[in-house]
Amino acid sequence: MKREIPVAITFIVGTAYLIAYFIPHKPFNYFENWFNDWFAVIAAFAIWLGVLNLIKISTIKIFQKKPDWPYSVLIIISFVIIVFFGFYEGYKGLYAHPSYSFRDPGTSFDWLYVNVYTPLSATMFALLAFFVASASYRAFRARNFEATLLLLAAFFVMLGRVPVGDILTSWLPHQYQLSQWANWIMNVPNTAGQRAIMIGIALGLVSTSLRIILGLERSYLGND
């Protein structure tokens, strides 16, 4: 039964979803919203599993003095601080006149969000610029024919996307200027490649979904 019930639920929900895509009549048109709501409710309860797991593993690491345990202290402290200010401001805002949310501007929670969380997130995102540079350097090394083709395409696209590209080729007719080359590379070979990948992804999605709905692929249930 441990296997059959989840497989049956998967079959019923998967088939209902598929039918609802083609039948817009009641009650099928409500299915998508119903299932999404169910998923949101289950995921909301499941967040506690994640939180408890994080606290449990960090606490064990601290008490057992495992390698890098000071990071776990930081995790616990950060968690307690943000949760405390969230609940504190939420409680205060509930009884204030007019009432406000813990996320409203001016609250201590918002201060932490704007001055601690946002800069940290922005820092991580900003790292991307350097990683793009190092990855591009490796990808564009002309080691073989394909890599050389990639390098040339990238060269023309990058140069065609900035004004200097057209200035360098201003002596040519408009349709042969670098910006037009870049547009052609992006619109023709690049789009063709992307569409081929998209078709493959769509076929793979249908195939995987069918395997899951029919219960052929059930290893995700932990019973292989």
Distance of alpha carbon 45 from the chain centroid: 21
CA distance 142 to 152: 9
97 vs 138, beta carbon nearer another protein: 138
CA distance 153 to 140: 10
3 vs 174, beta carbon nearer another protein: 3
- Among 1, 24, 98, 173, indicate the residue that binds another protein (CB under 8 A): 24
Is position 57 an interface residue for another protein (rule: CB under 8 A)? yes
Is position 49 an interface residue for another protein (rule: CB under 8 A)? yes
Is position 60 an interface residue for another protein (rule: CB under 8 A)? yes
CA distance 26 to 158: 52
Pick the piece of the chain touching another protein (CB under 8 A) from 1-9, 35-43, 85-93, 108-116: 35-43
Is position 41 an interface residue for another protein (rule: CB under 8 A)? no
Taking CB under 8 A as the criterion, which residues in 120-159 touch another protein? 120-121, 124-125, 127-128, 131-132, 134-136, 138-139
CA distance 177 to 165: 8
The dihedral over CA atoms of 31, 37, 38, 39, expressed in degrees to the nearest 10, equals: 110
70 prior amide bond cis, ω within 30: no
- How many residues bind another protein (CB under 8 A)? The answer is 63
Is position 87 an interface residue for another protein (rule: CB under 8 A)? no
Is position 207 an interface residue for another protein (rule: CB under 8 A)? yes
Taking residue 160's Cβ as centre, other Cβ atoms within 10 Å add up to 21
- Among 70, 119, 189, 204, indicate the residue that binds another protein (CB under 8 A): 204
The Cα diameter of the chain in Å comes to 76
Distance of alpha carbon 190 from the chain centroid: 23
CA distance 77 to 11: 44
Contacting residues toward another protein, per CB under 8 A: 21-26, 29, 39, 42-43, 46-51, 53-54, 56-57, 60-61, 67-68, 71, 120-121, 124-125, 127-128, 131-132, 134-136, 138-139, 194, 197-201, 203-212, 214, 216-217, 219-224
